[in-house]
Structure formats: C-alpha cells, structure tokens
Chain A
C-alpha cells in the first residue's frame, strides 16, 4: 500500500499512526533515488511526498528561494533561470529528481567543489520527524546561527530522521559569461590536469573527467573567462562544447559510495540521534546502515 498525504496535517497523522504501530515507511518524492545507497527494509510502506511540491516563496532580490521538497531540480532551475539566477545544487542524477531528496541524501554535483555542497546551500527546512512533530529549523536568510543546527542534521540523513517537506536554498546570479569546454588531456594526466586547473589563477566553476577528457565550465566576466580559456589550452587541446553536456554527465553519474566503517563512539552518537528523532524506527529503517 502507498500513503499519499496531501497536506502537512495529513502527513503528521500518517507518521504518528505509523509510529504508534511501528509500521515502517519508505519515503519517496520523485522516486529517482530508489536504487541509490543502502536498501530500505522491504516491508516498508511507501510514503509518497509528491504533494509537497511547488515554489513557496521566491524573492529574486534576496537570492534565496523556498520550495516544496518534492519540487524537481528541473522546476527549480526553470523558475530561477527566468530571473537570471540559479541554484548550484544541480546534483548527480537526473533533473527529474527532487530538491528534497537531494538535500536528504546530501548529493553533490559538479558545482559542489567551487560553489558548495548541499549542506552549504541549504538555509532552512520544514520536516516531520519520526514522532510526527513538525520541525522548522534554520530560516530563509543567508546567515543564521539561531539554535542548534537541525538543518545540517537533516541534510544527508537519508530521510531516516524526518520527512523533509520544504527547503530554503541559497541562489546565485548567473555569471555574465559562461562557457563549457572539452579538454583532451589523456586518462593518465586527467587528475593532474584537473588539479592544475583548480589551482590556477582562474579556477573553473566545474571540472569533471571522463574517458581522458575534461569537461570544464568557466564562468565570470569577459576578461576572466578569456584568461580561463588560456589556462585551459595550457593543459590540453580545448574545444567549445554544448552546455547540455552537463545534464548528460550528471544523469550518467551514480554518486553513491560504500560507507566507511565508523568508529564505535560515532556509531553510538548516530544511534542516539536516530532514537531521538525516530524512536520507533519507522522512517526509512536500515537506510543509514
């Protein structure tokens, strides 16, 4: 069976009821991450969160946006692009994935190295924890140290502590010039070439290696990009490429890594956190390993 709450009130009652009878829930927004990472216990009932979708608040002048967690990356990109802005979240995977899953899995993307990981880009969120309580930590402003940081705690918790329903994000203005290049460097030299570009005076906005080539995005004002082009040519034969290459390379990348074994003291803290927010172990049980 699938639960599909259409409001926050419905969601809290679904979770509260599940907690009362220890009925496991598997959180799904767009369903694009289902095969990623560790498996949730097979008996878990699906909790569809796709109703929590759409733009909640967007004031372009603030360079921040608040969206429903099930809003797709594609919609986030389209809405912000209309104001010549963007969110550097752009995670590995397809643009059909949701903002909420990106935050919940803390999935980075090609811009993370230059512009920040999900934990650096999320400003606040709304979520329903495993006891059915609504939590609204953080806020929508770009600097905020009020209270203990439940925002960072929920980011990367894989929905095992709470179901995220809303997310506030940091945006950036689009650069004046933004070019994608492919640089032939050869597989043997790819790491060194990428390192050299990132440490150059004009570091790229993104730089990924595939099959002996670097896909590089250089952005800034015209003079900066001109200097960055020169730096590209210093590491290999460079050719302009279509920006659409980024969506292709993202969709083709599976980002999930096996988790390293954890020290006992850390494992105990993690277990304490799980117990504090999901004492009945109903939210994505087993997903954190």
Chain B
C-alpha cells in the first residue's frame, strides 16, 4: 500500500500525456483473494476506486482522482494452459507477451497484440477491449475471451461465461474500462501459430495510392494478418532512431502487409498482394520470409511511438476509425487540418481496419502549441465522425474522449450505457467519471420510475479526499435497483 504523496506521484498518469490525477491511496494486492478483500473493504466504506494494470493505457482511463488506485500487476500467475482445448486461465496482471511466450511450446499464441504487448496486462486488455495490428485477421480482445471471474464493485463474485445462456454479460464486461468491476481471473483462447508468415513492405510516392491499395487488397478476398500504414513523418522519425528498420525515408507512405496461415496457397497470396501494390503505384515491394528479416520490418512499426519522442518531448497518440473507403479523403483532410493548425501529424495506423492513429509530437510546456494541438485533434475527431466513423477503435474513451461522446451518440444511447453500468455498479464507485459524461447519466433510485433530467455522479475533480466525500454521498443515494 502506498500513501505518501511522493510515492503516489508515480501513478498520477498512464500512457497518455497531458493528464495528471493523484490517487488518495494505491493498493497492490498480491493474490486474487487479497484483491477481493480490498474490493470488499472499499465497498464496506463506500470508497470509489480505479483498477489499474500496467498503466500503459492511452485514454487516461487508469487515472484515479482522489479515488483509491487498485493495482493488479502482482496478480501475474498463469493458472493453466490447456493445449487441447486451446485456452489459458490467467490472473489479470499477466503481461500479454508473457502468455504468448508461455504458450509457444504448444505452438500456440495469444492473438491480440497491442503495441505495448511487452508491458500491458491481460486484465487491462480485457477492460479496454484492446486491439493491435493482427486484429485485422484474428479479432480484438472480445473475440478471444471465453470467461471471466469478476469481483463486482459491491464485492460479489460472478463467473461470466460466453455460454451461460443468459444475457451476454461477458461481452458487456469486455471493454467496460474498469467501470463494471475487477476481473480476478480470465479464460482466453489461444491461437495456433501459423505454418508460414511472410511480411511485405511496399513504398509509395503518394499517400493516396497507398490508401487505395489497402482497399484493393481487402477487396480480393485475401485477409492479411496485418495491414499497416506509416506516413513520411513517421518513417522519418523511425529511421532517425535506434529502431531504424531500413524504411525508405523519401516515400510518402509505406504499407506493411503480413500474410500468414497454411503454407499451401500462401505464396499465391503474397504474389497477389505484391501485384496489387505495384499496379497501384508502389515503387518497390520488399518481401521478408525469415524471422529476423520480418522482425526488422516490424520493429519500426512497433516502436514508432517511441521514435516520435525524437521529434518533441510529448506525443498525443490519437485513435479513431473510419470506413476503409474513406481513408484516402480522411488522410487528405488530416493533412489539411495539420497544416491549418501548424502542427506535425504523424500517421501510423491499422489501415486494413480503417483504424487511424494520427499522432502529434509537441512540447506541452509551450502553451500556444498545446492549444493548437488540441484544436487539431478536435477537428480530426469531428472529421472522423462526419465520415461515419468512431472516436476510438482500441484505446477506449477513458477521460480523453469523454468530450466527443455526445457527438457520436444520442443522449438516450448514452443514458442506456449508464443504465448498463448501474446494473454492475449502482453506487458508481468503480472508475468514476470515465467513459460516459456524467451529465448523461440520469439519477436512478431503487423501486422508483426513472427520474428525468440531469442526475449527478461522482466526478472526482476535487483532489484527494474530495472523491471519498463525494463517494459517501453517492452511496447514500445508491443501492442496487
């Protein structure tokens, strides 16, 4: 348990720069039983809390503003791996890549692979419904979790199972960003390692050509394991860094395409992708089949965010999705928004899914620049919504995207989301103030008709102590409907 301000400072932010919130206390249980005891103690005293894994999240979702931070990274036991059923039971603090490493001897792996996979935890992945480059073919966390043992915020333990015949509460829990409770144990699918993997790097002199190529590849029926795009700004940053992967720095954009699966037919798919790239204007296509060569092509992509640290001290990592066919026009619009606001946008993203990551390196101490970055981000988000897209594909809403939720969803839809949260956490103590703006959460009382108009819930903006006092008020109102 940490309570000294200097110790708590470590936990005042997550992977997203620009937000700082200090928890009143940080608790790190060493076992699932201890975690449950902590949850029950918090419930007994009506104290709000924020579950946290490795703190690599990019939406400010793991920030605890006066609430108690419940760190789960010590719960890192892989309980068992069943190579026949191809599932693993794990505690929430197991690091994503650690599970894959443990499954390797069975020629299996855990498929969702966020860029932070060497640090992020499976519990955090579950809370955020994390994605990653290979989700294009293999699906996101939702598609890989088969059961979860969950401590509800009131201390009740429930086993959520995709197959229990009731409502899909497991599906509802995945991606609930720590607002529905704490996963104590997860059962996840393991995926057989592909027989063969080939990685292609195609470079283009026009970003529009690269974007058109993405749709053309998908249209053929070939489903690459990954289909990633990096623009010139990103390639420049990567190549100037220690992660240099040999990307052509004069290209307007590069596509990283991975084709995997059965050895039979793979070469035909690789040739088809190669051909499509060339007919759509690729200057060159490099093909890597050996693990070392493939890893080098991937290294630049996986470390791109880090490499952007060379450009400026801070980095906004953005996340939005547009329909794939809108990629060319959206990329043009993003360039325009960057130019108008005089900020440097580096695009590195999951093109096959239409999942954009327009990132902006900047100096947070420069107030004028920070404001320009903020304005540009707002315009980019609006452009994605206008194109029929969404404000987050894999990072979650957290604190960072709260402001865009009502541009995307109607008030009734947001209220419906709050109603779902209230089933799991009627006292609204778990990760308060995240995901849905508080003004859309109508106040509900047990055994009464819904009250119209703006209810209040805990929004921990009063620093340490205030959250606890507010929690007490909420508990007075609370109780399960």
Complex: A272 Cα to B424 Cα, angstroms: 8
| Interface pairs (24), CB distance under 8 Å | A59-B325, A84-B221, A119-B142, A120-B139, A133-B415, A133-B416, A136-B409, A139-B390, A143-B353, A147-B405, A147-B409, A148-B175, A148-B417, A148-B436, A152-B142, A153-B168, A153-B169, A156-B168, A201-B262, A224-B264, A262-B166, A276-B422, A276-B423, A277-B416
Write the nearest CB–CB distance from B437 to chain A, whole angstroms. 11
Write the nearest CB–CB distance from A55 to chain B, whole angstroms. 16
Chain B residue at minimal CB-CB distance from A275: B481
B393 contacts the other chain (CB 8 A): yes
Query: What residues on A are CB-neighbors of B324 within 8 Å?
Result: 61-63, 142
Chain A residue at minimal CB-CB distance from B352: A142
Given contacts A150-B420, A155-B171, contact A61 B215 (CB under 8 A): yes
B269 contacts the other chain (CB 8 A): yes
In the complex, the answer to whether A143 meets B131 with C-beta atoms within 8 Å is: yes
Contact residues, A24-43 vs B (CB, 8 A): none
A-B interface contact total, Cβ < 8 Å = 235
| Interface size of A as a range | 35 or more
In the complex, the answer to whether B129 meets A269 with C-beta atoms within 8 Å is: no
- Known contacts A172-B221, A201-B195, then 6 further A-B pairs from the complex at CB < 8 Å, ordered by chain A residue: A139-B389, A143-B393, A145-B128, A161-B167, A176-B221, A272-B481
Complex: A64 Cα to B353 Cα, angstroms: 11
Given contacts A141-B390, A141-B393, A172-B221, contact A227 B321 (CB under 8 A): no
| Interface size of B as a range | 35 or more
B323 contacts the other chain (CB 8 A): yes
Write the nearest CB–CB distance from B257 to chain A, whole angstroms. 16
B101 contacts the other chain (CB 8 A): no
Instruction: Find B221's partner among A175, A266, A269 (CB 8 Å cutoff).
Output: A175
B115 contacts the other chain (CB 8 A): no
In the complex, the answer to whether B172 meets A266 with C-beta atoms within 8 Å is: no
B176 contacts the other chain (CB 8 A): yes
A270 contacts the other chain (CB 8 A): yes
A137 contacts the other chain (CB 8 A): yes
Complex: A228 Cα to B262 Cα, angstroms: 10
Binds A, one of B27-35, B152-160, B299-307: B152-160
Contact residues, B318-333 vs A (CB, 8 A): 321-325
Query: What residues on A are CB-neighbors of B413 within 8 Å?
Result: 134-137, 147, 150
Query: What residues on A are CB-neighbors of B453 within 8 Å?
Result: none
In the complex, the answer to whether B325 meets A143 with C-beta atoms within 8 Å is: no
Given contacts A62-B324, A288-B167, contact A147 B417 (CB under 8 A): yes
Write the nearest CB–CB distance from A89 to chain B, whole angstroms. 15
In the complex, the answer to whether A135 meets B412 with C-beta atoms within 8 Å is: yes
Contact residues, B126-169 vs A (CB, 8 A): 128-129, 131, 135, 139-140, 142-143, 152, 156-160, 162, 164-169
Query: What residues on A are CB-neighbors of B401 within 8 Å?
Result: 146
Instruction: Find A140's partner among B168, B215, B388 (CB 8 Å cutoff).
Output: B388
Query: What residues on B are CB-neighbors of A144 within 8 Å?
Result: 321, 390, 392-393
Given contacts A141-B388, A266-B160, contact A147 B323 (CB under 8 A): no
Given contacts A61-B325, A134-B410, contact A221 B156 (CB under 8 A): no
Contact residues, A232-289 vs B (CB, 8 A): 257, 259-260, 262-263, 265-267, 269-270, 272-273, 275-277, 279, 288-289
A173 contacts the other chain (CB 8 A): yes
Chain A residue at minimal CB-CB distance from B194: A201
Annotate B373-416 by CB proximity to A: 1 below 8 A, 0 otherwise: 00000000000000011111111110001000100111011111
Write the nearest CB–CB distance from A61 to chain B, whole angstroms. 4
Write the nearest CB–CB distance from A130 to chain B, whole angstroms. 11
Write the nearest CB–CB distance from B156 to chain A, whole angstroms. 5
Query: What residues on A are CB-neighbors of B430 within 8 Å?
Result: none
In the complex, the answer to whether B393 meets A140 with C-beta atoms within 8 Å is: no
Contact residues, B205-231 vs A (CB, 8 A): 215, 218-223
B52 contacts the other chain (CB 8 A): no
Given contacts A135-B416, A136-B413, contact A153 B167 (CB under 8 A): yes
